[in-house]
Structure 1
């Protein structure tokens, strides 16, 4: 059995809770044992919100196991319905409570008889899908529910809005820079003369979901959440979908041209070429920066990219195509989206890596020794251990990924943020070198373990002192070469003699 000490994507119920709590006045009830109810803590720590609807846990304990959960779950649903008066209550089990194999749909049907609001069971397979897949599925389920409800009541609006309009689908709580991206997308749509019909799920009311078919098109900025709902709307109402992530100068322009094509096909007469040129030349500093001497100094430098499908693919293209940086390998933990990812990035990098194993990712980084990493918070930790700078470009999220300042990754302002991130990720690694030159001090603690989880090499005091004398900008490489030398010879401790022997073996 392998210990799961890091997960890039959480369990399915986290995805369901992210969608439910993104809507206004929707209450989620989690059928779970004590210990699975950490969502409220996680959200209150990370999201910069003044208030939000907390999730209620219907705790599975020994009494529930003895008598069954039905009465307790039904009581919790009806109690919350009376107390909070939500528009919708979503019930979700967790992986642990799913083991009980209870008929939760029956619980929901019973509770619906007494509840004034709507009650729904999150219909996701908790054993087969992760957080992102469950979020996508839950959003589809809620959209379908309210479209069908409006149909039955005969109040589903007909026809499109008078002016071109868009639904922005997939903005959710705990998403990577989602709030800032949403602001930037709204600004972009306004500049293009396009009204925003609905943004879902973040900040939306379930009562407004019946208005979704009125939009001229749907924009899905992230592949992870929103594609299923957009596909449903396209199938049911013929609403075209734009799923090009406007990240980077080239892809933002491609996204806008796709929108232009869709609008003109529906009778509009728009030409966004002048707008694209104006934004590229004067609003986005990335195009200018790519021709500057600073960016040219980065040309050919090695980088690796890892993250979710959307951000990892977009970042790979930006580095290789717009900045001339050599992407040694690019990877994603979205194994279910592997084919799309390979198709998107294969021509921009030497190797494609699809994996959920953070140990494998860490070893792959150590193997190629890039000048910079662009990944998740896990890769940032790996970079610290290897003395390689890392720019965080994708979830999993950390408090650092919820800045108070405005930092979108999408649109033309996003191109500026990304250019800064790339440049700073490469150049800040020189600080150790400058400290050495100008007699500064280096307080970095030397790591005694290799990057792999099974590394058991230690450094004795003399070897550690010698390692600390080496300038910081090459120390990581010396350390890794020495440890490789020791492992190849079956040694489990690094001494001065081992260091000198390793140095001689490479002719240094």
Structure 2
């Protein structure tokens, strides 16, 4: 029933699909009923991939339950091997097939296929998609990776990017360039773009870069323990985190920290006149734990927003998210129910939401601008252009993505605030053609406002209005006050005038 409405994470076999689809030379045989093939659409439609996922479904039907579904699985396994000739195979059951307890792993083992066959035990009714991806990749690494001599030059593995990940493809490109500037080459990127033969080469790198803890941390911990490879803990999303990441890599490798910031525009933009108007905007954050933690730091420390609430949907990240919330002085929201998220947003009434595709829908309903920072996402968040989240260019992209909705909101607000003005009212013609309206518009200059006194709180608030319309805002507010017999303008009067002219 939950899949018929919104859900932040699918069942764990969808996580396994993300790993299988990201890799090459790997095939996934999924014991599943007819209908569970819906997962294919996640990749071909939402991610706009040019090929279908490497998955064979048994697609048993209701009439098969009284016969030998195990034999159907074996037949599907053999057919997949014969047709695709993969280097390795993973086998498992969907949430529905798990109920009939056919043991895909045990059955595949008895078939004697001449390739590694890796069984997946994904508890569909206790865990979810991110766990499924993390566990699947861990099992692949544990089965195929072995100790190897280190490469001649300093190299690392990029660990964690999968299919259907939020900007994973572009993050790989950005990090590869960032590391190259330091003299560090990438040995293997996995699972994205890797083959089973590549997985066997993981042990040759000096260290691992954990890009996404949700989908790669178990494998990194195993490689640290079994292959002697340390891994980075800093996720380089944002200017500060990128600098910290470079420093961490330098410490691990004992090479000089170097970072080319010639493309970095975000800090200057964040200090510009237009952006300082946005300082102290109240924002609410929700998504996976890793992206929420990164976004909170950017919001508070790099752009100057006020974080009024945050949370995550993946319970594996509940503890660090709660600790983060305490640091920011807010209450953490750990839930996978979008209705709870909507209720919290309504209660906090933020000026902007930083969230997932779900929060984008919530924002539309509540009239609050939203920028997407985390999966789950829809087709518009798999752009054809280069649009990373990590590294130097990622910081620029994030600034644009977050600030533009607020600037558009400012533009709409100004148009409504001055809609009675001779240039902006509904019947006015295009400004570059001159006014063609015959409608009489009240002239604020006809009202005497020289006796009005502005209180300090209202003056401070008025200074937040961009300078090129500040005078108009002052005159409109004074007119509003005089018409109501007021001799002083406080912050409440300023807000009332703003609401009046925005009608």
TM-score range, shorter chain: 0.7 to 0.9
| 2:206 alignment partner in structure 1 | 216
Q: Structure 2 unaligned runs (5+)? A: 428-495, 497-502
Quote how far apart the aligned CAs of 1:356 are.
1.1
Within a 5 Å distance, the mapping from 1:34-183 to structure 2 comes to 34-111=34-111, 113=112, 115-147=113-145, 157=148, 159-183=149-173
Aligned partners of 1:161 and 1:215 also within 8 Å: yes
Change (3 A) 1:378 1:130: same
Question: How far apart, CA to CA, are the structure 2 residues paired with 1:21 and 1:5?
Answer: 25
Offset of residue 60 of structure 1:
2.1
**Cα 1:414/1:349, change in 2 over 3 Å:** farther
Aligned-partner SS, 2:214: coil
CA contact (8 A) 2:40 2:53 kept: no
- C-alpha distance after superposition, 1:296-333 (max 9, x if no partner): 11111111010001111110110011111111001111
Q: Which residue of 1 aligns with 2:27?
A: 27
1:394 is the counterpart of 2:374: yes
What is the rounded CA distance, in whole Å, between the counterparts of 2:300 and 2:75 in structure 1?
A: 56
SS of 1:289 mapped into structure 2: helix
* Cα distance, 1:435 vs structure 2: 4.6
Contact 2:26 2:54 in 1 (8 A): no
Which residue among 276, 299, 306 is the counterpart of 1:319?
Answer: 299
State which drifts further: 29-38 or 198-207.
29-38
Pick closer, same or farther for the CA change 1:431–1:68 going to 2, 3 Å. Answer: farther
The corresponding residue for 1:468 is: none
Match of 1:404 in 2: 384
Q: Which residue of 2 aligns with 1:259?
A: 249
Query: Matched residues in 1 for 2:53 and 2:84: separation?
Result: 9
User: Which residue pairs with 1:425 in the alignment?
Assistant: 405
2:169 partner SS: helix
Query: Which string of whole-angstrom CA distances, capped at 9 and with x for unpartnered residues, describes residues 74-117 of structure 1?
Result: 01111111111111222221111111122222211123x2x333
Matched residues in 1 for 2:329 and 2:277: separation? 20
1:271 pairs, out of 256, 260, 266, with 256
Tell me which residue corresponds to 1:249: 239
Could you tell me how far apart the structure 1 residues matched to 2:54 and 2:296 are? 37
1:339 paired to 2:319: yes
Q: Matches of residues 275-424 of structure 1 in structure 2 within 5 Å?
A: 275-276=258-259, 278-279=260-261, 282-424=262-404
CA contact (8 A) 2:91 2:119 kept: yes
SS at match of 2:59: strand
Inter-partner Cα distance in structure 2 for 1:43 and 1:440: 45
- How many residue pairs are counted as aligned between the two chains? 425
Are residues 1:190 and 2:180 paired? yes
Tell me whether 1:229 sits opposite 2:209 in the alignment.
no
**Distance verdict in 2 for CA 1:23–1:262, change over 3 Å:** same
**Residue deviations 1:326-360, cap 9 Å, x none?**
11001111122111122234323533211111001
SS of residue in 1 equivalent to 2:186: strand
Are the equivalent residues in 1 in contact too, given 2:325–2:331 (CA < 8 A)?
A: no
Tell me which moved more, 366-375 or 47-56. Answer: 47-56
Q: What stretches of structure 1 of length at least 5 have no aligned partner?
A: 151-155, 265-269, 442-502
Is this contact kept in 2: 1:316–1:345, CA < 8 A?
A: no
What is the TM-score of this pair, normalised by structure 1? 0.80
| Alpha-carbon contact 2:60-2:72 (below 8 Å) kept | no
CA deviation map 1:15-64 (0-9, x unaligned): 01111221102111221112211122221112243334442210121332
Specify the SS of the correspondent of 2:42.
helix
Question: Would the aligned equivalents of 1:39 and 1:55 in 2 still touch at CA under 8 Å?
Answer: no
Contact 1:23 1:203 in 2 (8 A): yes
Quickly say closer, same or farther: Cα 1:404–1:349, change in 2 above 3 A: farther
Contact residue 390 and residue 425 of structure 1 kept, 8 A: yes
**Does 1:238 pair with 2:223?**
no
- Does 81-90 or 408-417 show the bigger shift? 81-90
Is the contact between residue 158 and residue 190 of structure 2 (CA under 8 Å) also seen in structure 1? Answer: yes
Q: Give the direction of change, closer, same or farther, for the CA distance of 1:184–1:329 in structure 2 (3 Å limit).
A: same
Alignment match, 1:200: 190
The answer (yes or no) to whether the contact 1:316–1:349 under 8 Å persists in 2 is no
Q: Give, in angstroms, the shift of residue 411 of structure 1.
A: 0.3
Judge conservation of contact 1:48–1:404 (CA < 8 Å) in 2.
Answer: no
Q: Which has the larger radius of gyration?
A: 2
Distance across 2 between alignment mates of 1:59 and 1:126: 18
Q: Secondary structure at the match of 2:138?
A: helix
- Against the structure 1 CA distance between its residues 52 and 193, is the aligned structure 2 distance closer, same or farther, given a 3 Å change threshold? farther
Structure 1 SS opposite 2:385: coil
Q: Structure 2 vs 1, CA of residues 430 and 292 (structure 1 numbering), >3 Å: closer, same or farther?
A: closer
| CA distance in structure 1 between the aligned counterparts of 2:306 and 2:372, rounded to whole angstroms | 18
